[in-house]
Amino acid sequence: MQIDYQDETNEVTEEQLELVDRLLKFAAQYEKLEGNYELSITFTTDEEIQVINREYRGIDRPTDVISFALEEEGEGEIAFERMEEMPILLGDLIISLDTMRRQAVEYNHEEKRELGFLALHGFLHLLGYDHMTEEDEKEMFRRQDEILQAFGLTR
Q: Tell me the binding residues for Zn(2+).
A: 121, 125, 131
Q: Which long-range contacts (CB under 8 A, 24 or more apart) does 25-29 make?
A: 25/1, 26/147, 26/150, 26/151, 27/120, 27/123, 27/124, 27/147, 27/151, 28/1
Query: Minimal CA–CA distance to 56: which of 11, 91, 7, 102?
Result: 91
Query: Minimal CA–CA distance to 69: which of 144, 128, 28, 137?
Result: 128
Q: CB of 28 within 8 A of CB of 2?
A: no
- Annotated binding residues, as ranges? 121, 125, 131
3-state SS track over 104-134: HHHCCCCHHHHHHHHHHHHHHHHCCCCCCCH
